A and B are shown apart, each in its own frame.
Chain A
Amino acid sequence: MPKNDVAVVGIGQTKFRSKRRDVNIPEMIYEAAKMALDDAKIEPKDIDAIIIGNMDHFEGINFSELWCGIDAAPGYLKPVVKVATGGTTGSSLAICGYYNVASGIYNKVLVIGWEKLNEGGATTGIITAFDPVWERPSLAGALGPLALMANTYAAKYGITPEQAAKVTVKNRSNAANNPFAHLQMPNITVDYVMSSQMISYPLRLHDCCPQSEGACAIIYANEEETKKVTDNPAWIQSVATAHYYTFGTDTIMFDLPSAAIASKEAYRKAGIKDPVKDLDVAEIYEPTSWSELSWTESLGFCKSGEGGKILDEGITQMGGELPVNPSGGVLSTNPIGATALVRVAEAAIQVMGRGGKRQVPDVEKALSMGFGGSLWTEILILGKEPKR
């Protein structure tokens, strides 16, 4: 249990798009940082530290925090630290920012995740994540391993492409309610998803997340500072990270063991016994439609093999018992270094009741998930009340 309670008191996001040709990198980040500062009504000078990240290889910039933390955020003569862990970058930033405040070292911390993928190449970057001798020739990039996971998952539990397509339909329709989302498709159909181009069997184009440009920022404060700036914060109730084996071939490819481990730890710390009952909304990191089905199982929302069933029953739909990804999720918006931070920001928005058309009624507790690296998972649980 932390010594200091930590709350999200300010949130900023850019509108996510495939290309932001109108701004350069710091200008794009500034939009989100400024919005979070304005939202929290905190002066830039009153921020104690900045935690900022993206992936080095995606834009080809080394020590990007030393540029962007200074020129796009109020980092001059302050601590600026970069955390970068692949797909989980956003959640790792959120967790690092949390410890900056929970430790008692800093009182108000600005956390920023960003990516501007058209200035580099995501797949080129991701390929180098894999071992050059053992893995790169066979299992590299993002979609290959995800297709393998979808395939083994489908084979084990008899999941059909229709069930997967329904996830895209749900999430991209939800995205139509989110003014920041990249792919807003209110009229998308299962047929449309299933007739899209095959990318890597069984993944079709619309089973996959897009590549987006944009930034997301949140501001954390300790209990005392939180009281000064807002009466509607979102408190961090627990954080958890779980890794698994380095090599894909050492791991189980049909579910996500790290999600089961991390979520159990996060539930225990936050006093959650039955996630479907105790949580009111979940923002999960689903790079493909298939992964949402499989990972809702890993997160304990249902039994193994029943991810499709709870979707069909409407449990994870808007209006269901545990809506998953009211924001549209990763299938609608994927600015990699910001993606998992958007999950945290959207969970906070739901707890604060500021979700507009995408708001789930009466949210007390929300889960956010980050996924990345060698199939690892990070969980943050946010709530209306502080944990202590």
Chain B
Amino acid sequence: MDKVAIVGVAQTKYEAEKIDQTYMELVFEVVKKLHNDLGITNDDVGSVITSSNDFNDGRTIANMAIQDAVGTVGKSESRVSGDGAFAYVYAAMRILSGEYDTVMVVSHCKCSEVNQYLVNNTIFDPYYQRHLGLDQISSAGLMANMYMTKYGFTEEQAANVVVKNRKNALNNPYAHLRKEVTLDEVLNSPMMAYPLKELEFPPFSDGAVAMLLTNKELASKFTDNPVWLKGYANCTDAYYLGHRTMTDLIGLELAAKEAYKMAGINDPVKNLDVAEVYDAFSVHELMSYEALGFCNKGEGGKFLDSGETQMGGNIPVNPSGGVLSSNPTMANGLIRLAEVALQIMGKAGKRQIADSKLGLANGMNGICSQGNCVLIFGGE
């Protein structure tokens, strides 16, 4: 399905507290940057899909405030309430329908303005689970603990995910945490939810990301190296944690299988050149290796030890530094896509993986990989 192309991406620098900008201004910054990079104006954009979350923005209809910033006076915009990767999918559908030649996708999040633990607690149903005080930290602890019990991994293996991603972030000028951490620092950071420690969780970041999509006919008008959608699948796991197989990311696994099939991928480690994986916490990246078929079940830790996911390995994972380095939550999925697009365009600067032709990015909604979206991109 070589019909949808990413022809340009723009990102803000991700930071802890962008006190000098409202979220509308963050969005305007990336839209303006995208326009300037591509030499286009509002008139060249057919419609817009945004991704945001009313709880994170503290505003009902959070996309209402950004209409001026995305330039949709007299035009169509729609908003996916959730991770930016899902907004990309809706935008790609608009291109595939043949009704729009160009669609801009924008995602933003200003985590600094809202208590993220409370926001995440409201994901749990109001009747039974919410009162338990569950949030992204405690549920991650439950997941990591069950995974450890079933398959086993060492604390060092989990900590080394953080060491890898934070080291990669040094090469990414947009990354929020650009400071290397040592294995000891991760292991000795305060316990958050056993067995996960403070540095095994991402920071909270402010930032925005935008990209322009177009069709086969127009792609060459915008760029010499468009990035084509090769495979896609979306799979949602059960809602209640008690209904889930917490030791395996089943939704991600099924989505990956379907996306690989569409893209004609038989051996992801061999076929893929780069992967930007939604690393919601350290162990989550190890579990994702397994779900994405990079290694066998229970061997995520061993796979990390093999060095295959390091820069220079067979399948470098998160050259950007991943979510563990920059976490404007709603934008995370679209950032993964943007980073893979930059890799395939050969525009990833110091974090560039040589000859990246085929890459994987995934987005996630909800707690512990409940909603999963896997996308495969190629340069040809």
List the interface of chain A (C-beta within 8 A of B).
Answer: 1-4, 24, 49, 53, 55-63, 65-67, 69-71, 75-86, 92, 95-96, 99-100, 102-105, 119, 125-129, 131, 240-247, 257-258, 261, 372-374, 376
Residues of the A chain whose Cβ atoms lie less than 8 Å from the Cβ of B120: 62
The 6 closest A-B pairs by CB, nearest first: A79-B234, A241-B76, A103-B96, A86-B61, A103-B93, A56-B54
Minimal Cβ-Cβ distance residue in A for B68: A246
- Given known contacts A69-B236, A83-B80, what 15 new A-B pairs fall within 8 Å (CB)? A49-B234, A61-B126, A63-B371, A66-B366, A77-B251, A100-B93, A103-B94, A127-B60, A131-B65, A241-B76, A242-B74, A243-B67, A244-B74, A373-B61, A374-B64
**Complex: how many Å from CA A82 to CA B365?**
10
Secondary structure dominating the interface of B: mixed
Minimal Cβ-Cβ distance residue in A for B59: A128
**Complex: how many Å from CA A375 to CA B80?**
19
Least CB distance, B60 to chain A, in whole angstroms: 4
Report if B204 contacts A (CB, 8 A): no
**Complex: how many Å from CA A243 to CA B81?**
18
Residue in A1, A62, A81, A131 whose CB lies within 8 Å of B53: A62
Residues of the A chain whose Cβ atoms lie less than 8 Å from the Cβ of B366: 63, 66
B125 touches A61 (CB 8 A): yes
A-B contact pairs, 29 of them (CB 8 A): A1-B98, A63-B123, A63-B366, A65-B81, A66-B123, A66-B365, A66-B370, A75-B236, A77-B251, A78-B236, A81-B86, A83-B79, A84-B79, A92-B78, A96-B78, A99-B93, A99-B99, A103-B94, A126-B60, A127-B60, A131-B65, A240-B76, A241-B78, A244-B73, A246-B65, A246-B66, A246-B67, A246-B68, A373-B61
A62 touches B123 (CB 8 A): yes
**Complex: how many Å from CA A100 to CA B53?**
21
Minimal Cβ-Cβ distance residue in B for A4: B97
**Complex: how many Å from CA A77 to CA B94?**
24
Least CB distance, A257 to chain B, in whole angstroms: 8
A77 touches B97 (CB 8 A): no
Residue in A77, A96, A103, A257 whose CB lies within 8 Å of B235: A77
B82 touches A65 (CB 8 A): yes
**Complex: how many Å from CA A70 to CA B367?**
14
A243 touches B126 (CB 8 A): no
B75 touches A99 (CB 8 A): no
Interface string of B76-114 (1 = CB under 8 A from A): 111111100010011011111111000000000000000
Task: Given the known inter-chain contacts A61-B122, A66-B370, A100-B93, please indicate yes or no for A55 contacting B65, CB distance below 8 A.
Answer: no
Least CB distance, B63 to chain A, in whole angstroms: 7
B98 touches A24 (CB 8 A): no
Of A69, A85, A126, A245, chain B has the most CB atoms within 10 Å of the CB of A85
B371 touches A245 (CB 8 A): no
Of B93, B120, B237, chain A has the most CB atoms within 10 Å of the CB of B93
**Complex: how many Å from CA A86 to CA B63?**
9
Residues of the B chain whose Cβ atoms lie less than 8 Å from the Cβ of A4: 97
Least CB distance, B256 to chain A, in whole angstroms: 13
**Complex: how many Å from CA A104 to CA B99?**
13
**Complex: how many Å from CA A99 to CA B371?**
20
A245 touches B67 (CB 8 A): yes
Minimal Cβ-Cβ distance residue in A for B58: A128
List the interface of chain B (C-beta within 8 A of A).
Answer: 24, 47, 53-55, 58-61, 63-68, 72-82, 86, 89-90, 92-99, 119-120, 122-123, 125-127, 232, 234-239, 250-251, 254, 365-366, 370-371
B251 touches A81 (CB 8 A): no
A62 touches B67 (CB 8 A): no
**Complex: how many Å from CA A263 to CA B92?**
24
Residues of the A chain whose Cβ atoms lie less than 8 Å from the Cβ of B59: 128-129
Minimal Cβ-Cβ distance residue in A for B96: A103
Residues of the A chain whose Cβ atoms lie less than 8 Å from the Cβ of B77: 241, 243
Residues of the B chain whose Cβ atoms lie less than 8 Å from the Cβ of A127: 60
Least CB distance, A205 to chain B, in whole angstroms: 24
Of B58, B61, B74, B119, chain A has the most CB atoms within 10 Å of the CB of B61
A56 touches B55 (CB 8 A): yes
Minimal Cβ-Cβ distance residue in B for A76: B238
**Complex: how many Å from CA A376 to CA B235?**
32
Residues of the B chain whose Cβ atoms lie less than 8 Å from the Cβ of A84: 54, 61, 79, 81
Residue in A65, A78, A374 whose CB lies within 8 Å of B67: A374
A99 touches B97 (CB 8 A): yes
Residues of the A chain whose Cβ atoms lie less than 8 Å from the Cβ of B236: 66, 69-70, 75-80
Residues of the A chain whose Cβ atoms lie less than 8 Å from the Cβ of B73: 243-245
**Complex: how many Å from CA A59 to CA B122?**
10
Minimal Cβ-Cβ distance residue in B for A105: B93
Least CB distance, B263 to chain A, in whole angstroms: 14
Minimal Cβ-Cβ distance residue in B for A91: B78
Residues of the A chain whose Cβ atoms lie less than 8 Å from the Cβ of B239: 66-67, 70-71
Residues of the A chain whose Cβ atoms lie less than 8 Å from the Cβ of B54: 55-57, 84
B60 touches A129 (CB 8 A): yes
Of A92, A95, A257, chain B has the most CB atoms within 10 Å of the CB of A92
Residue in A3, A82, A86, A243 whose CB lies within 8 Å of B60: A86
